[in-house]
Amino acid sequence: MAVGLDDAGNLRGVYPASSPNARRLFIGSHLDTVPHAGAFDGVLGVVLAVALVDLLERRPLPFAIEVVGFSDEEGVGFGVPFIGSRALVGSVDEEFLNHRDAQGRSIGDALRDFGLDPSCVARARADGDLIGYLEFHIEQGPVLDGLGLPLGVVNAIVGQSRLSMTFTGSAGHAGTTPMSARRDALVGAAEWTTTVESIARETSGLVATVGRIHAWPGAGNVIPGSCELSLDVRHAEDAARTTAVAVILDAARLIAGRRGLDAQWTTHLDQASVAMSEYLSAMLERGVAAQGLPVHRMNSGAGHDAMIMAERMPAAMLFLRSPGGISHHPDEAVLEDDVAAALAVGRAVLDDIAGTRA
């Protein structure tokens, strides 16, 4: 493959077609992961894509294959995910590049520090006659493992909302301020956190998570004067998700009002659910069935680059089981036989697209 780094920091390798100006199939996933994570989230999909090209043994296809290792899918640093894939579909603008991390460094600054020019990000956009995008990824959950299945074909990627919430009260001395006179931001935040859990349990299919919390001034003998939390809400149906977010925010207002606090929030992501391409998913199904394996359809509760790529081209995903349902953890794993099966399915899809499927 001809390999290079694009202007958004994505690693891209092109396996040329048998003729010039041919259509192009993208296969890939992300190269980043979260803190204290395992070895397979994202990276497995990139390695599988490279392995698929290697299996061709230089045999030309009537379409080109472009393998992509996306630069930033998780959004841990800057609070917004899918930086690399957003650049590939052409949805990165000046406002997006100005998102900043906890140290005040913007996405644009990070690109410059990496030796890239943020003003050139638009050049990363995928153009031409695009067949679509395939992504192989560990499930990151317990469903396939519980069913004893190695692979799953993804129907849709659920929508998600990401917000930050800040409760502001009044800091004070822990020993001299009576309980009746306190405006404790952390206690208000704690009540809201348990309320978020209760609301999520009341709606089928909804998941809601408060995953990060910071209290100031952060001293053991000082009443917290402010507290900032993250909120992550996901559901396959966008109406259910947005309704839940509204209820959760109403709860924050009520809790803050009752406790003499101020509650403010900022929405960082409002990503609609994304259906996968039925055309490409049917190819994945045929590939799974050809291996003598049961075909299982499922939704993805996690966000993936495929949901961004679907804005510009047909997209499909194949999940590999996560033993024990573990992901975003050092114990994350895959089974060798499952990887072999996924490679066989990928090879069948390439043959299907080329029109040479048996």
The pLDDT of residue 358: 39
The pTM score is: 0.83
Alpha-carbon gap, residue 239 to 251, rounded angstroms: 18
Task: Write down the pLDDT at residue 356.
Answer: 57
| pLDDT tens sequence across 49-88 | 999 999 999 999 999 999 999 999 998 889 888 999 999 9
pLDDT band at residue 357 using 50, 70 and 90 as cut-offs: very low
Segment holding 8, helix H or strand E: none
Gap between the Cα atoms of 335 and 321, Å rounded? 8
| Cβ atoms of 165 and 253 closer than 8 Å | no
List of domains in the chain = 2-157+273-354 (3.40.630.10), 159-271 (3.30.70.360)
